[in-house]
């Protein structure tokens, strides 16, 4: 396998983009990435997208977006893996370049969610769960996370305040991120006292819905030098899955997919969790963020909330988590999220993250899950 | 959802029919075609017990489309007497009096409607088993 590098990143601020279509949103992010990379000729396109069919009544996405970029004569593929579609697209693009089949590959993610009403969006998101035995009961994705949060609070004696502190940290991080949907700080009181969504989860525990697109240009590491002096290599990647139905899990308080994906990705990269200088993790709900901190190996089981309270995951802490503000405050345009995470890590490793730059970042990871940990994808990045 | 999709799930939804692996004694709800524990492809039909206890639960206030009329409602993770887990709505319960580990039993209830002309969906829900004082039982 060839070593693969990222030579360009592009992001659009996550927002209500009333004036943008799914096509224009993606194209603008792709242009940003191409310009950042120095406009190499692109050999193939991968697009991560969860549900243009439901959100926008538009399928057959890859040729549509390839055409918009003048890449209609090149191979283009859409990759769907629920909420981790963005990372799934990167996973496939990485293998494409590593295999030697293509050299310069554009990989992006897009989700245009704001054209639908909230109850429609909640339903569409719940289609990542089992339709007959979870969604049928009226259970939402927030509901599964809420059941886990209640169990976690009960088992480890944790109060909602501890989860709210994670939310406050994410907003503080996002306040320095120009791409964030919610670039402002919030008080602990506000994080705690919002409308209930699926108790014990309240609105401020949830990632928002929003429109967004992000893109990367990747190529063989040996060709990267011609385009950039700030090369970032992808040195590990793995995807793992778990039982599709949450009630079939043997452990309700961990995401086995995260444990397996990170263990294999760390092994491939020849690192341990202690080597990670910065991480972008899948905090679709505050409980999911806490579990990610534990399952990725940054804290022991039942102690992720302590890592938050002691500042271990803050930008100047031992392992900064989500300097972007995470899904919670940067935003979670579903199929684009994994690419936003990768773009953030690349900027951090290049030292280009502006006011949100974490100190001395050499190795960074992204962690993107689907459903409640039905799958997890971890990528490991390293500054050359 | 369509009438055929409603119809084919009736054994599970009305009678709690599961699959059972006689080789490694694992139960699957909903039923599966093969045992993912031991690899056996010869699974048997098994009727699940109708009693169990509540492992955890949530009170849904922001429902997915189709459940707006019922919110707020409770959905729980239940461990049945034989150790099988399933997900179900908890009915006839006051969310403020509910707690982890309360004993629950299955009942058949309406789950939702499917537009003006579509079929009405029925299926299992679970309700707390009350003691003589009308409080939820909790015999751990």
Distances (CA, A) of A360 to A276, A325, A367: 11, 19, 20
Share of residues in chain A with pLDDT > 90 (%):
97
CA A208 to CA A192: how far, in whole Å?
A: 16
Residue B94: partners with Cβ closer than 8 Å, 6 or more residues away:
none
Residue B92: partners with Cβ closer than 8 Å, 6 or more residues away:
B107, B127, B128
Domain with A216, as residue range(s), is 4-117+210-224
Asked if residue A199 and residue A215 are part of one domain, the reply reads no
Asked if residue A218 and residue A166 are part of one domain, the reply reads no
Do residues A211 and A25 lie in contact, with contact meaning Cβ atoms separated by under 8 Å?
yes
Of A197, A246, A252, the CB nearest to B62: A197
Asked if residue A259 and residue A378 are part of one domain, the reply reads yes
pLDDT of residue B6: 86
Give domain status of residue A106, yes or no. yes
CA A299 to CA A313: how far, in whole Å?
A: 10
**Tens digit of each residue's pLDDT (9 = 90 or more) over A346-380:** 999 999 999 999 999 999 999 999 999 999 999 99
pLDDT of residue A122: 82
- The alpha carbon of B53 is separated from its chain's Cα centroid by a whole number of angstroms, namely 11
Of B28, B64, B121, the CB nearest to A123: B64
Say if the Cβ atoms of A139 and B66 lie within 8 Å. Answer: no
List the beta bridge partners of residue B82: none
The CATH number of the domain where A157 resides is what?
3.40.47.10
pLDDT bin (cut points 50, 70, 90) of residue B5 is confident
Of A119, A138, A248, the CB nearest to B75: A138
Mean pLDDT across the stretch B30-58? 97
Give domain status of residue A191, yes or no. yes
Is residue A250 packed enough to be buried (19+ CB in 10 Å), middle (13-18) or exposed (0-12)? exposed
**Tens digit of each residue's pLDDT (9 = 90 or more) over A100-117:** 999 999 999 999 999 998
Give domain status of residue A36, yes or no. yes
Return the residue in B29, B35, B56, B66 with the most chain A beta carbons within 10 A, the one to mutate for interface testing: B56
Do residues A48 and A29 lie in contact, with contact meaning Cβ atoms separated by under 8 Å?
no
Domain B49-129 grouped into CATH 2.60.40? no
* Nearest-neighbour CA in chain B from A138: distance (Å): 6
Domain boundaries, chain B: 1-48, 49-129
Instruction: Give the catalytic positions of A in this structure.
Output: 83, 332
CA A369 to CA A156: how far, in whole Å?
A: 24
Rounded mean pLDDT of chain B? 93
Return the residue in B4, B10, B54, B61 with the most chain A beta carbons within 10 A, the one to mutate for interface testing: B61
CA A379 to CA A90: how far, in whole Å?
A: 9
- Is 90 exceeded by the pLDDT of residue A187? yes
Mean pLDDT across the stretch A37-42? 98
Mean pLDDT across the stretch A165-172? 98
Domain end marker among A224, A255, A279: A224
pTM of the entire structure? 0.97
CA A74 to CA B83: how far, in whole Å?
A: 53
pLDDT of residue B114: 83
* Nearest-neighbour CA in chain A from B87: distance (Å): 6
Q: Which among A4, A118, A10, A14 is positioned nearest to A334, based on CA atoms?
A: A14
* Nearest-neighbour CA in chain B from A135: distance (Å): 8
pLDDT bin (cut points 50, 70, 90) of residue B1 is low
Distances (CA, A) of A10 to A46, A93, A107, A212, B34: 15, 16, 10, 11, 45
Asked if residue A219 and residue A77 are part of one domain, the reply reads yes
- Is 60 exceeded by the pLDDT of residue A300? yes
> Any idea what the Cα angle at residue B71 is, between residues B76 and B134, rounded to 5°?
60
Asked if residue A172 and residue A102 are part of one domain, the reply reads no
> Any idea what the Cα angle at residue A96 is, between residues A225 and A257, rounded to 5°?
110
pLDDT bin (cut points 50, 70, 90) of residue A6 is very high
Asked if residue A196 and residue A138 are part of one domain, the reply reads yes
Residue A149: partners with Cβ closer than 8 Å, 6 or more residues away:
A163, A200, A201, A205, A285, A286, A287
Asked if residue A294 and residue A264 are part of one domain, the reply reads yes
Distances (CA, A) of A50 to A14, A59, A86, A189: 16, 11, 8, 34
Share of residues in chain A with pLDDT > 70 (%):
100
Domain end marker among A190, A224, A258: A224
Give domain status of residue A79, yes or no. yes
Say if the Cβ atoms of B59 and A248 lie within 8 Å. Answer: no
Rounded mean pLDDT of chain A? 97
- Is 90 exceeded by the pLDDT of residue B136? no
CA A224 to CA A325: how far, in whole Å?
A: 29
pLDDT of residue A302: 98
A179 or B135, which is more confident: A179
pLDDT bin (cut points 50, 70, 90) of residue B117 is confident
**Tens digit of each residue's pLDDT (9 = 90 or more) over A231-243:** 999 999 999 999 9
Of B86, B89, B95, the CB nearest to A138: B89
Domain count, chain A: 2
* Nearest-neighbour CA in chain A from B132: distance (Å): 27
**Chains A & B: contacts with CB separation below 8 Å:** 105
Do residues A234 and A32 lie in contact, with contact meaning Cβ atoms separated by under 8 Å?
no
From chain A, pick out residues whose CB is under 8 angstroms from the CB of B4: none
- Is 70 exceeded by the pLDDT of residue B139? no
Residue A83 DSSP SS3: strand
């Amino acid at each position: 396998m060839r070593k693969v590098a990222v030579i360009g990143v592009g992001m659009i601020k996550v927002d209500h983009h009333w004036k943008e279509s799914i096509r224009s949103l993606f194209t603008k992010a792709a242009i940003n990435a191409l310009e950042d990379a120095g406009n190499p000729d692109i050999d193939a396109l991968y697009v991560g997208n969860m549900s243009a069919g439901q959100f926008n009544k538009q399928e057959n996405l890859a040729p549509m977006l390839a055409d918009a970029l003048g890449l209609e004569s090149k191979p283009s593929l859409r990759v769907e893996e629920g909420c981790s579609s963005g990372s799934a697209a990167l996973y496939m693009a990485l293998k494409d370049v590593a295999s030697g089949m293509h050299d310069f590959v554009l990989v992006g993610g897009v989700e245009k969610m704001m054209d639908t009403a909230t109850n429609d969006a909640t339903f569409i998101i719940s289609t990542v769960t089992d339709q007959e035995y979870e969604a049928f009961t009226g259970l939402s994705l927030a509901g599964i996370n809420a059941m886990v949060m209640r169990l976690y609070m009960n088992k480890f004696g944790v109060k909602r305040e501890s989860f709210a502190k994670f939310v406050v940290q994410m907003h503080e991080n996002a306040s320095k991120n120009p791409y964030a949907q919610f670039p402002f700080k919030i008080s602990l009181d506000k994080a705690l006292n919002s409308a209930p969504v699926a108790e014990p989860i309240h609105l401020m525990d949830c990632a928002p819905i929003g429109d967004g697109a992000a893109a990367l240009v990747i190529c063989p590491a040996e060709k990267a030098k011609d385009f950039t002096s700030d090369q970032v290599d992808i040195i590990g990647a793995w995807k793992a899955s778990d039982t599709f139905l949450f009630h079939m899990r043997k452990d309700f308080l961990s995401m086995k997919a995260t444990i397996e994906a990170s263990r294999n990705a760390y092994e491939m990269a020849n690192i341990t969790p202690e080597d990670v200088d910065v991480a972008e993790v899948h905090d679709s709900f505050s409980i999911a963020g806490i579990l990610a901190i534990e399952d990725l190996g940054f804290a022991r089981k039942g102690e992720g909330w302590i890592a938050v309270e002691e500042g271990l995951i803050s930008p100047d802490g031992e392992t900064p988590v989500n300097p972007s503000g995470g899904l919670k405050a940067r935003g979670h345009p579903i199929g684009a999220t994994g690419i936003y995470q990768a773009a953030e890590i690349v900027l951090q490793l290049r030292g280009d993250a502006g006011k949100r730059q974490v100190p001395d970042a050499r190795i960074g990871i992204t962690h993107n899950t689907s459903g409640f940990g039905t799958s997890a994808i971890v990528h490991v990045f390293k500054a050359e | 959802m369509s009438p055929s999709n409603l119809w084919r799930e009736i054994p599970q939804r009305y009678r709690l029919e599961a699959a059972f692996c006689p080789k490694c004694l694992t139960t699957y709800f909903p039923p599966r075609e093969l045992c993912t524990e031991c690899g056996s492809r010869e699974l048997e039909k098994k009727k699940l017990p109708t009693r169990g206890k509540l492992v955890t639960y949530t009170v849904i206030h922001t429902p997915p489309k189709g459940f707006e009329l019922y919110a707020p409602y409770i959905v729980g993770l239940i461990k049945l007497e034989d150790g099988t887990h399933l997900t179900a709505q908890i009915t006839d319960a006051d969310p403020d009096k509910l707690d982890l580990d309360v004993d629950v039993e299955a009942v058949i209830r309406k789950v939702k409607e499917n537009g003006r002309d579509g079929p009405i969906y029925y299926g299992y829900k679970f309700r707390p088993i009350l003691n003589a004082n009308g409080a939820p039982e909790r015999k751990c």
